[in-house]
């Protein structure tokens, strides 16, 4: 034996798995619509499926980015405190990330 250990494969985070599955779903639905249109079949159902699948993908990306922002703010706050630096900027970023609200827009 060479004495080298194999690195254990780590499972991807669940949020990344959700992103990958929702992206795959979008492309499968879009590809199926293109194939059905090429063949000449009825594609009226895809008028609802394509926007809903891409909308769900957009929502999952937004939640993932918000989660990543919150996690990075926590890591920065801990790193500043461990280094003995002023953690006020990181604290402010952490508080804004945690208390972020969806703003109402007038259409």
37 belongs to a structural domain: yes
Residue 36 clears pLDDT 80, i.e. is over it: yes
Supply the range of the domain harboring residue 69: 14-98
**Could you tell me which residue, 87 or 36, shows the higher pLDDT?**
36
Span 54-66, mean pLDDT? 92
Residues 6+ apart with CB under 8 A from 19: 57, 60, 61, 64
Query: What band does 102 get if pLDDT is binned at 50, 70 and 90?
Result: very low
44 belongs to a structural domain: yes
2 belongs to a structural domain: no
51 belongs to a structural domain: yes
105 belongs to a structural domain: no
**Could you tell me which residue, 25 or 89, shows the higher pLDDT?**
25
34 belongs to a structural domain: yes
3-state secondary structure 31-94: HHHHHHHHHCCCCCCHHHHHHHHHHHHHHHHHHHHHHHHHHHHHHHHHHHHHHCCCCHHHHHHH
5 belongs to a structural domain: no
83 belongs to a structural domain: yes
Count of domains observed in the chain: 1
Q: Residue 90 in contact with residue 80, Cβ under 8 Å?
A: yes
**pTM, full prediction:** 0.66
């Amino acid at each position: 034996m060479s004495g080298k250990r194999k690195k254990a494969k780590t499972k991807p985070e669940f949020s990344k798995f959700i992103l990958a599955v929702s992206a795959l779903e979008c492309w499968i639905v879009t590809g199926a619509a293109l194939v059905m249109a090429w063949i000449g079949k009825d594609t009226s159902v895809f008028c609802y499926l394509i926007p809903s699948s891409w909308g769900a993908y957009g929502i999952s990306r937004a939640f993932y980015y918000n989660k990543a922002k919150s996690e990075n703010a926590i890591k920065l706050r801990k790193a500043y405190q461990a280094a003995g630096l002023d953690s006020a900027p990181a604290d402010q970023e952490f508080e804004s990330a945690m208390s972020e609200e969806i703003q109402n827009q007038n259409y």
